[in-house]
Structure 1
Amino acid sequence: MKILIVSDTHGNHKNLDKVLKLVPDMDMFIHLGDVEGGEAYLNAVINCEKHIVRGNNDFFSEFPKEEEFYIGKYKVFITHGHGYYVSLDPEYIVEEGRARQDDIVMFGHTHKPLLQENEDIIILNPGSISYPRQEGRKGSYMIMEMDKEEKLHFQQCYLD
């Protein structure tokens, strides 16, 4: 199973269009918020299972604030992250994930990629595909793959 994870497109779909050409065979799409008016666009171009949450700039969005679901045997919690103070430190959202007994916590908001694979929980942020803030300022996204033994593999990707 191949899963494309993005965040913080902010209504700018140019880089997302590039990524969709690079990853045409995804089984699931996850957007971690700040779609900013791109709801209809995402529904039109994504033809697989979708999980999308609203961010702090999605004022009139009907997407949920957060969602929990399973990917295989893994319990996943997705949220934009601003309500968990992720810009200061991801520890609060890590503790929230542990309290919920999640295996994977995904968030956006910071526009900076992050992958922490702890013994009991995986924390990830794909960064921003449209407005990156990390060193080098390349749009970023993540691909998560689950093999036949349900082992997870992560690839942090950057656009040129």
Structure 2
Amino acid sequence: MLLFSDSHGNVANMADTVRLEQPDQILHLGDLLQDADALSSQFPHIPLVSVPGNCDGRRPDLPEERVLELDGCRILMTHGHIYQVKMGIGAAVRAAREVRADLLLFGHTHQAFCEYENGMWVVNPGSAGSLTQPSYAVLILEAGGAVCYLSKI
């Protein structure tokens, strides 16, 4: 599974990554939803789930966060702005623990990291649209757990 965030108009970076990685699923963590839609149009056979970011405007038709159950793993995905992750990830981690998530996925900060802390993966794929250091994350879900890693585009 590929994780993207903060593509900010750079669909080409994501499309190149999809061709390289050949994922079975894509999660887009916001900024910009139109990029996620364009990517989904290019690869209609790959399921894509997204959440809106702060640059996507208010979207009452879309939840600002989603809780997914995939391959036995519970995932909280959000862009992160609703938890003020630029000021620290504590509120987002608490929200993930409240829903008993195995993984917390967010973006917004443009700073990629992938850490396992106290039984939960906390992953930010960075910015797929960065002009200097575009990045993404790969998430491998296996029975009983998950593994993730970061890569540059």
Give the TM-score, by structure 2 length.
0.89
Identity of aligned residues (%): 26
User: Relative to 1, partners in 2 of residues 1:87 and 1:96: Cα closer, same or farther, differing over 3 Å?
Assistant: same
Deviations 1:45-98 (A, max 9, x none): 232222100000012655431111111111101000001010011111011111
After superposing on structure 2, the runs of 4+ consecutive aligned residues of structure 1 that deviate more than 3 Å are 60-63
Q: Give unpaired runs (5+ residues) of structure 1.
A: none
Q: Identify which range, 31-40 or 51-60, moves more after superposition.
A: 31-40
User: Relative to 1, partners in 2 of residues 1:109 and 1:146: Cα closer, same or farther, differing over 3 Å?
Assistant: same
Superposed CA RMSD in Å reads 1.8
Does structure 2 retain, via aligned residues, the 8 Å contact 1:10–1:36?
A: no
Does structure 1 retain, via aligned residues, the 8 Å contact 2:73–2:145?
A: no
Which residue in 1 is equivalent to 2:8? 10
Which residue in 1 is equivalent to 2:73? 74
Is 2:147 aligned against 1:153? yes
Is 2:121 aligned against 1:126? no
Deviations 1:96-151 (A, max 9, x none): 1111111111000001112120132211100001126xxxx32100111134x444
Does structure 2 retain, via aligned residues, the 8 Å contact 1:52–1:64?
A: no
Q: Which has the higher helix share?
A: 2
State which of 132, 138, 143 in structure 2 corresponds to 1:143.
138
Alignment of 1:39-58 (within 5 A): 39-46=36-43, 47-58=45-56
Aligned residues: 151
Q: Give unpaired runs (5+ residues) of structure 2.
A: none
User: Relative to 1, partners in 2 of residues 1:126 and 1:40: Cα closer, same or farther, differing over 3 Å?
Assistant: closer
Which residue in 1 is equivalent to 2:31? 34
Alignment of 1:78-97 (within 5 A): 78-97=77-96
